Amino acid sequence: MRRNAFAIVAGAIALAMLIGCSMVSQTDSVPPKHPEELPAGRVDCLECHEDVSTGALKPYASFRHSVVFIQQHAMYATQGQNLCSSCHAPAFCQTCHARKEELKPNVKMGDRPDRLLPHRGDYIVQHRLDGRLDPGSCFRCHGNKNDAKCRSCHR
Amino acid sequence: MRDARQGVAPRLLLGLCSAALLLLLPAVLPAPCRAADITLSSQTYLLFYEREVTGGEKNKYAPLYEYLSGDASLQYLHPTGNAEMRLGRFFFTEGVAAEILDGVFLKTTTPTGFGLSLYGGVPVEKSITSTDTGDSLYGGRVFFARKGFAEIGFTYLMEKGDFQGEDREILGGDLWVRPFTPVELLGRIAYNNATSGIAQQRYVLRLSPFTKLEVAVGYENYNYKDLFQTSLNSAFLSPPLDNNDEVQNVFAVVDYLIAEGLTMEVGVKSIRHDRDDPGDATRADLGFRYAYNDKKDVAGLSAAVVSADRDENEYQEVRGFATYTPGAWRFTLDALTHRYKEAISGIKDAYQVVGSAGWQVLPNLKVSGDLTYTRSPQFSKDFAGLIRASLDLGTTTGGN
């Protein structure tokens, strides 16, 4: 069953060799790092960018970090992470998307009350209500498979 | 922190393959291709707490808890077309896939606008407890993107493993369309091939009629048996949940810039279940945020009300927070309270206050400490302290 994983690795090598860089779009990629140090707080790309991101192929206006964007950020990230990555290190994403780490995101970042981190308060109590009403919101991290975090209480 | 997956040999083999790939890549890829540095970060936490359990013994605990994590991956980025290759341990999102993988990820966009991504490896779940993951995970996404107008993608994901039933096999679609300037339509659908049903679909209409105003309205639908895949999911066992329940959410979010630095945020979410238990509910949120000190600091105040068919699901929430960042120091205060309509373990209120102080020792090293007081239906008194050290090393990507 692990053969598939290795097949993908081999396929990736083959794809890289076959396609190389000649069949790649000539549109500029998103730079790996934002060329200027960004100010603190929620980012508003429109302060400097009025056009369309050549890498993400979407207007910078789409990425203004309003609460609207933050709540829907997954819909954008699933079409490409490169624009996110130019400002956010991988550890930023994994604060929440770390898959069942023992510390809750809001505990890991207790010094960032300004961020929309899940599980604030005594969430062992609170999840009884939120999880009952909208379990799909739990699924993204505590989804199917053998979730030991759920199983520790739900036996 | 350790990785709880079973089976070392395949991981070692995959690691060796990745290492070989890394050595070969410079020869394979043409000169304009460039490499990002290895990304490595570490967060260490020392946690201690002292608590009294509601309605029972006045047990006090004072454990010391250390938590250390570090991921390393290597990424090749092409100057054009967002072509890239990642190797090692990384988090990626691609269509319906949002995974942590020990493996490889490859993506490219062609001059026609069509593109392809492939990924494969061993899935990772980080847990001190023994969480079993799949043995392998692989798939890809085909997409078409037209600059500034639309992107549409189709995803395939397969995770094989011992999942108390079928393997995890998901087919997905994603859509982004901006037909004209202030309007965007986003969509995502996931089909669970193991259960032969649509697991989840979500559509969002986003409007920006003015610079200061953003509005999003959306619809989401999912059903338990297809989204959670197995009726054996432990969260469904006790208390027992109806695996045939279906949920339909309608939501709206508004972000309005009242004045420089002052933002109002409003949200409404209607949750409709097919089953009387747990019944329907509506959550309404209203919040204000004020950014000051050159936006380094933020203060916020918010309130939420959940009204529901069943009293046990109803509650009110109020939260306030503020930060203060003089130079290399940072101080924060965060207070949250819940009031439940129906008492839980005989208690209707919950409170939590978190105070934090931190110092940016070096540009890539920060130390901070938190003190937390909690009173809830679970704890009549809970004091917790945490010391945190964050170190970011060797990355060419952003750093926050």
Length of chain A: 155
ipTM of this model? 0.85
d(CA B176, CA B144): 11
Would residue B148 be called left, alpha or beta, if left means φ above 0 and alpha means ψ between -120 and 50 degrees? left
Enumerate the residues of chain A whose CB falls inside 8 A of the CB of residue B189: none
pLDDT at site B6? 39
pLDDT at site B240? 74
d(CA B279, CA B274): 8
To the nearest whole Å, the CA of B216 is away from the closest chain A CA by 6
Pairing status of strand B65-77 against strand B34-35: antiparallel
Across B237-364, the runs of DSSP E, i.e. the strands, are: 246-259, 262-273, 281-292, 297-308, 315-324, 329-344, 347-362
Please give the structure tokens belonging to residue B348. Answer: 């209707």
pLDDT at site A9? 65
Pairing status of strand B379-393 against strand B183-192: unpaired
Cβ neighbour number for residue B151 with a 10 Å cutoff: 23
Q: Do B147 and A112 touch (CB under 8 A)?
A: no
Enumerate the residues of chain A whose CB falls inside 8 A of the CB of residue B356: 110-111, 113
**Residue ranges of A 114-153 with Cβ closer than 8 A to chain B:** 114, 120-122, 124-126, 128-129, 131-136, 138-140, 142-152
Secondary structure (DSSP) of B73-118: EEEEE-SBTT-EEEEEEEEEEETTEEEEEEEEEEEEE-TTSEEEEE
d(CA B122, CA B118): 14
Q: What angle do CA B385, B53, B346 make, to 5 degrees?
A: 125
pLDDT at site B26? 46
Count Cα neighbours of B390 within 13 Å in the Cβ-side half-sphere: 19
Q: How confident is the model at residue B335 (pLDDT cuts 50, 70, 90)?
A: very high
Q: How confident is the model at residue A72 (pLDDT cuts 50, 70, 90)?
A: very high
Strand partners, B52: B381
Q: Is the pLDDT of residue B323 over 70?
A: yes
Q: Is the pLDDT of residue B29 over 70?
A: no
d(CA B376, CA B350): 4
Would residue A57 be called left, alpha or beta, if left means φ above 0 and alpha means ψ between -120 and 50 degrees? left
What mean pLDDT, rounded, does chain B reach?
Answer: 84
Please give the structure tokens belonging to residue B4. Answer: 């709880």
Q: Is the pLDDT of residue A6 over 70?
A: no
At position B43, the amino acid (one-letter code) is Q
Enumerate the residues of chain B whose CB falls inside 8 A of the CB of residue A76: 176, 186
B326: Cβ contacts below 8 Å, ≥ 6 apart: none
Query: Comparing B4-8, B165-169, B380-384, which segment has the lowest mean pLDDT?
Result: B4-8
Query: Comparing B15-19, B142-146, B291-295, which segment has the lowest mean pLDDT?
Result: B15-19
Q: Do A21 and B29 touch (CB under 8 A)?
A: yes
What share of chain B has pLDDT > 90, as a percent? 56
Query: pTM for this structure?
Result: 0.86
Q: Tokens 């942590």, residue? A: B100
Enumerate the residues of chain B whose CB falls inside 8 A of the CB of residue A93: 91
Count Cα neighbours of A117 within 13 Å in the Cβ-side half-sphere: 23
**Residue ranges of B 265-284 with Cβ closer than 8 A to chain A:** 265, 267, 271, 278, 281
d(CA B379, CA A138): 23
3-class DSSP state of A80: coil
pLDDT at site B336? 98
**Residue ranges of B 36-65 with Cβ closer than 8 A to chain A:** 36, 39, 41, 43, 45, 47
**Residue ranges of A 40-69 with Cβ closer than 8 A to chain B:** 40-42, 46, 52, 54-59, 61-62, 64, 66-69
* Residue boundaries of the structural domains of chain B: 37-68+325-400
Cα Dmax for chain A: 56
Q: At A50, give phi and psi (nearest 5°).
A: -110, -10
Tens of pLDDT, residue by residue over B129-168, are 555 677 899 999 999 999 999 999 999 999 888 766 678 8
Q: Is the pLDDT of residue A40 over 80?
A: no
Instruction: State whether the Cα torsion B124-B125-B130-B131 is positive or negative.
Output: negative
Q: How confident is the model at residue B44 (pLDDT cuts 50, 70, 90)?
A: confident
Tens of pLDDT, residue by residue over B219-270, are 999 998 888 876 556 676 777 778 889 999 999 999 999 999 999 999 999 9
pLDDT at site B2? 37
d(CA A11, CA A106): 40
Q: Tokens 């338990």, residue? A: B224
Enumerate the residues of chain B whose CB falls inside 8 A of the CB of residue A154: 234-238
Query: Comparing A95-109, B196-210, B214-228, B276-290, which segment has the lowest mean pLDDT?
Result: A95-109
pLDDT at site A38? 81
